[in-house]
Amino acid sequence: MKSDWPRIIAHADMDAFYASVEQLDNPDLRDQAMVIGSNSKRGVVLTASYQARKFGIKSAMPMADALRRCPDILVVPPRFERYQEQSAAIMAAFADFSPRVEAISLDEAFIEMSGAEGLFGTPQEMAQQIKAAVFATTGGLTASVGISSTKYVAKVASDFNKPNGICVVPPEEAVAWLDPMPVARLWGAGPKTVPRIQRLGLYTIGDVRRADPAWLLQKLGRSGVHFQTLANAQDPRRVAQRRSARSIGSDRTLMENITSHADIEKHLRRSADRIGHRLRQKGLRCRGVRVRLKTADFKLLTRQVQLPQPTDSSDQLYEVAIKQLTRFQPAQAIRLVGLAAYELSREAEPQQLDLFSGRSKMQALEAMVDRVSDKYGSGAVVRGGDLGRSGTISENSPNLDFIDDIP
Ligand SMILES: [Mg+2]
């Protein structure tokens, strides 16, 4: 390997993640044109299998369009818990390569590999080992890996030889490699911005790179400067260790030890209401939810999960939390119940209404509860369910791995 790599950054991205998980779990779906999503008129395609992509079907396409393109297509409803489970396994595999892993979605992460040559070899060898680790830990899923010395080029590279691909772009070749790519490959150039750039007569990344900087600034403002920086394969952003270290939580130490899930659920209900209220007050949403239980003998048990969409809904926090309960060993005496929301963000990401049907109604209800609580103090509104909640724990408990137990 040449010595002129200022940094080594890998971007690993799972291939057609949701669809591949379903095809892995259900052999009948393998080699089939299939999409993940809800089979309703308002539904959208969450992920299309590679067989479906041959029909021009892709993520975010309305389901009606997908059915028009391929009437026989199989529509499989999403199982987010399963995807989260595989995602956790994948992220854990990445963590074996570097202490610095930045997950940017359930199925994608940057891995800082600078200084890891002694352990893992050349960038090409690093990519092979990352892919092999993903394949092994998931039981057969493939990732594509891009490696370069900036986050931007690594991300473009991971997409370059998809699926199941590797693309290593040495830093001294990055500019020439980017030059012929369409401007849509520029980070931050979305469906609105791409036509604006093209109207300036700039069609490739090379066109943007060669444009006069002052003219670009005048035409596109600061984003013009940003695009030209990327076109020069410059990207000062470092791989962040975590999306956010901040969290909003509520730990409840109990007067008496409890053992029943129904009792734990009651405490989680109150914590979820409190945390949801604070999220909404602060205009934040969370992507991570963590449940902590402390046993009578002071063992701390932790389960955490990443949501497919950030949320500020108390009900969703609660639902996610009680699903995590199924991942703890049953019938232990518990002295503390904790719930925390983390990976907080302020951006309003588009909601996929089909995934959480009745969501807007729920939001209206929660806004009402917030108003009453602000006026009369929390506890002024008690949910009917709190008055005598039965101990129903939601369906399929995935597995009882205890990897993240903190002794
Ligand atoms: Mg992916």
pLDDT of residue 130: 97
Q: How far is ligand 1, taken at its centre, from the CA of residue 159, in Å? A: 9
The yes-or-no answer on residue 108 being catalytic is yes
**The one-letter amino acid at 305:** V
Q: How far is ligand 1, taken at its centre, from the CA of residue 73, in Å? A: 21
Q: How far is ligand 1, taken at its centre, from the CA of residue 137, in Å? A: 17
Segment holding 219, helix H or strand E = helix 213-220
Residue with tokens 């939580």: 249
Largest CA-CA distance found in the chain, in angstroms, rounded: 71
Among 85, 108, 112, 265, the one annotated catalytic: 108
Predicted model pTM: 0.62
Name every residue whose Cβ is closer than 8 Å to that of residue 28 and which is 6 or more positions away in sequence.
Answer: none
pLDDT of residue 202: 98
pLDDT of residue 132: 96
pLDDT, tens digit (0-9, with 9 covering 90-100), for 264-294: 899 899 999 989 988 888 788 888 899 988 8
CA 138 to chain centre: 17
Ranges of residues in the chain with a pLDDT under 50 are: 1, 3, 243-245, 349-359, 377-407
Alpha-carbon span 123 to 338, nearest angstrom: 42
Count Cα atoms within 13 angstroms, Cβ side, for 27: 0
> Which of these, 185, 194, 131, 195, lies nearest to 163 by C-alpha position?
131
* Residue 341 and residue 317 in contact, taking contact as beta carbons nearer than 8 Å: yes
Helices 314-325 & 261-282, crossing angle to 10 degrees? 150
CA 35 to chain centre: 19
Q: How far is ligand 1, taken at its centre, from the CA of residue 316, in Å? A: 25
Q: How far is ligand 1, taken at its centre, from the CA of residue 304, in Å? A: 22
Hey, which residues does 75 pair with through a beta bridge? 35
Alpha-carbon span 59 to 61, nearest angstrom: 5
Phi, psi of 306 (to 5 degrees): -100, 135
Segment holding 90, helix H or strand E = helix 80-95
pLDDT of residue 210: 98
Phi, psi of 335 (to 5 degrees): -115, -10
Phi-psi region of 208 (alpha: psi -120 to 50; beta: other; left: phi over 0): alpha
Q: How far is ligand 1, taken at its centre, from the CA of residue 216, in Å? A: 32
pLDDT of residue 293: 87
Phi, psi of 143 (to 5 degrees): -120, 160
Instruction: Calculate ∠ Cα 8-14-20, nearest 5°.
Output: 165
Hey, which residues does 303 pair with through a beta bridge? 291
Alpha-carbon span 379 to 273, nearest angstrom: 10
Domains and CATH numbers, the chain: 1-168 (3.30.70.270), 179-231 (1.10.150.20), 247-387 (3.30.1490.100)
* Residue 18 and residue 184 in contact, taking contact as beta carbons nearer than 8 Å: no
Phi, psi of 154 (to 5 degrees): -60, -40
Name every residue whose Cβ is closer than 8 Å to that of residue 302 and which is 6 or more positions away in sequence.
Answer: 290, 291, 292, 404, 405, 406
> Which of these, 244, 217, 242, 241, lies nearest to 228 by C-alpha position?
217
* Residue 314 and residue 275 in contact, taking contact as beta carbons nearer than 8 Å: yes
Q: Which residues surround ligand 1, an ion (CB under 5 A)?
A: 13-14, 17, 107
pLDDT, tens digit (0-9, with 9 covering 90-100), for 230-259: 999 999 889 986 544 467 888 777 778 888
Q: How far is ligand 1, taken at its centre, from the CA of residue 294, in Å? A: 36
First to last CA, the chain: 42
